[in-house]
Amino acid sequence: MTPEELLTEADRCVKCGLCLPECPTYRLLAHEADSPRGRISLMQALAAGEIDPGTGIEIHLDRCLGCRSCETACPSGVRYGLLLDASRNLIARRKPGGSGLRWLLTLLAEPRRLALVSRIYRPFRRGKIARWASTLLPRCYKRLPALGRQLAGTPALPAGLYPADQPKGRLVQLFTGCVASQVDQPLIDAGLALLRRLGYAVEIPQTQCCCGAMHRHNGAEEQAERYCETNRKQTAKSRAQALITLASACELELCEQQASNLPVVGITDLLLTQLDGGIPSLKPYPGRVAVHLPCSCHGDGGIALLQKIPQAEIIPLAENGLCCGAAGSYLLTQPELSRRLGRAKIEQLLASRADILITSNTGCALQFRQLLEEAGLDTRVMHPAELIHRQWPG
């Protein structure tokens, strides 16, 4: 988006303020510059060349989660997410360098690099080095060692063709994601096993790469575009019937950027279609299951699917319209605000008396697992597909 296009889009904002009550950072900070309306005014001034990067605008844009609750609330249809990405890219171009942490995160959001770091870090993750690092690192890096504990340290699922348990002539491609391939391997295993049981052969191509969401939302639009192009090319060559995604943030990015030549289908939707067809009867789960709704999820977060589990009491988490504070790299770049939002969710989880917390996005799962560990709670955090896999008969 050029500065002129940014100004045209931003001009649709009539400054009515109807989005303000929906904005998590405005609710926390009660400051106009940390509201959608205030940020749009700052972006307009930036695009018009009235203010420069380095004069304070970054503080307010950095505090924005990119959750896009404001977009849903806006009667004028302002595409706030596009404005935010374009402004961050404008800042990155006008003031190269930027945050070292942002640079590090966009560098690591690549499956092979993250797998390598994961293998190197794994032996140190619970030792003194990780504890010293937490104490000595600057504020914005402090959560890295704790989050690093969730890295698997084992190679991601190898690329290849995985046959169906009972072949039915169906082939799908599985999008494993960069962060998920290292922090959510049980989810990838569950997704793969379910697809194979349902009669799908599953392809994981060597050339599949990150969806680019982390890069795009951190101002590295050119890198994000390169990833999209790679994914477009590799899906164009595939004979698969669909590209199946696990994390809702990857699904949203692939759809919005049209980065796949195959139809993009979330595994939750696919499983719901199959279970609506009556196969199979799941094992009962006599417990309470709370469902968190990620900002990137445009469905019900898996509620309809999980209601197929006999005896399970499925409860939407209170205030599900508000972001949990994970928001991609936000849990690292804005640790205090991220924690405040995340802890409010943990309070709601406790009030729900659920023994399992469901989220269909990897970033949210990272946030919840770390905050639950800090609070000494052992509530399981799972993707809907993981719970369905656990309750699968046989």
Which residues form the interface with ligand SF4 (CB under 6 A)?
Answer: 13-19, 22-25, 36-37, 39-40, 64-70, 73-74, 76, 78, 80
Q: How far is the CB of 27 from ligand SF4 (least distance, A)?
A: 9
List Cα–Cα distances, 109 to 116, 182, 216, 224, 235, in angstroms.
Answer: 12, 11, 11, 11, 20
- Report the b/e string of 13-35 with b at 16+ CB within 10 A: beeeeebbebbbbbebeeeebbb
Closest C-alpha among 198, 258, 197 to residue 224? 258
- The least CB distance from residue 342 to ligand SF4, in Å, is 14
Query: Which residue, 70 or 144, is less far from ligand SF4 as judged by CB?
Result: 70
CB 134 within 8 A of CB 145: yes
- Closer to ligand SF4 by CB, 294 or 384: give it: 294
Cα–Cα dist 169/209, whole Å = 26
Q: Is the peptide bond before 280 cis (omega within 30 degrees of 0)?
A: yes
Name the minimum Å distance from CB 71 to ligand SF4. 7
Q: Which is nearer to ligand SF4, 18 or 375 (CB)?
A: 18
Say if CB 287 and CB 57 are below 8 A apart.
no
From the CB of 121, what's the least distance to ligand SF4, in Å? Answer: 31
Nearer to ligand SF4, 42 or 195 (CB): 42
Q: How far is the CB of 51 from ligand SF4 (least distance, A)?
A: 18
Question: By three-state DSSP, how is residue 168 classified?
Answer: coil
Cα–Cα distance for residue pair 106/108, rounded to 1 Å: 5
CA 330, CA 29: separation in Å to the nearest integer?
16
- Provide the minimum distance between the beta carbon of 12 and ligand SF4 in the complex, in angstroms, as a whole number: 7
Nearer to ligand SF4, 73 or 193 (CB): 73
Do residues 272 and 305 make contact, with C-beta atoms less than 8 angstroms apart? yes
Q: Which is nearer to ligand SF4, 65 or 275 (CB)?
A: 65
Q: Are strands 356-358 and 243-245 parallel, antiparallel or unpaired?
A: unpaired
Task: Give the nearest distance from C-beta 73 to ligand SF4 in angstroms.
Answer: 6
Contacts of 388 (CB under 8 A, 6+ apart): 190, 194, 271, 275, 282, 305, 306, 308, 309
Smallest gap from Cβ 345 to ligand SF4, in A, equals 15
Hey, is 390 helix, strand or coil? helix
Contact 383, 187 (CB under 8 A): yes
Where does the chain show beta strands of DSSP type E? Answer: 160-162, 170-175, 200-204, 243-245, 264-266, 288-291, 313-316, 356-358, 380-382
Query: Shortest Cβ distance from residue 16 to ligand SF4 (Å)?
Result: 4
Task: Tell me 137's DSSP state.
Answer: S
Closer residue to ligand SF4 in complex, CB, 32/313: 32
Least separation, in Å, of the C-beta of 34 and ligand SF4? 8
Closest C-alpha among 316, 323, 334, 333 to residue 295: 323
Nearest to 111 by CA among 29, 177, 54: 177
Q: What is the C-alpha separation between 58 and 315, in angstroms, rounded?
A: 38
Q: Which is nearer to ligand SF4, 69 or 379 (CB)?
A: 69
18 or 116: CB nearest ligand SF4: 18
When the beta carbons of 11 and 52 are compared against ligand SF4, the nearer one is 11
